[in-house]
Amino acid sequence: MIMKTREIRIERTSSYGHYRVTGVVEGTEVSCITTNSEAFDYLNDDEDAEKQAEAQAHCEMILELTYENL
């Protein structure tokens, strides 16, 4: 099933090497933690389209997995 994921954001947490990813999946706000620092570095980096696409895909995947487990 293809899910609609939008409004993806990533921010540092108070724990070293942990980042909170938030987004809207199928109309529901979802939040989860990742340790993928490249996702944090490249999600909003327009200078490296390939890395940005990888970061976007990672964030979408973990948000959708979290949504499925709600």
* pLDDT reading at 19 higher than 90: yes
pLDDT, the chain, mean? 96
Q: pLDDT band for position 43 (50/70/90)?
A: very high
**So what's the pLDDT on residue 3?**
84
Position with higher pLDDT, 2 vs 38: 38
Q: Do residues 21 and 8 lie in contact, with contact meaning Cβ atoms separated by under 8 Å?
A: yes
Q: What does the DSSP 8-state code read for residue 47?
A: T
Distance separating alpha carbons of residues 39 and 44, to the nearest angstrom: 9
Six-digit token string for 59: 């964030």
Our measurement of the distance from residue 41's CA atom to the centroid of its chain's CA atoms, rounded to an integer in Å, reads 12
**So what's the pLDDT on residue 51?**
97
* pLDDT reading at 2 higher than 90: no
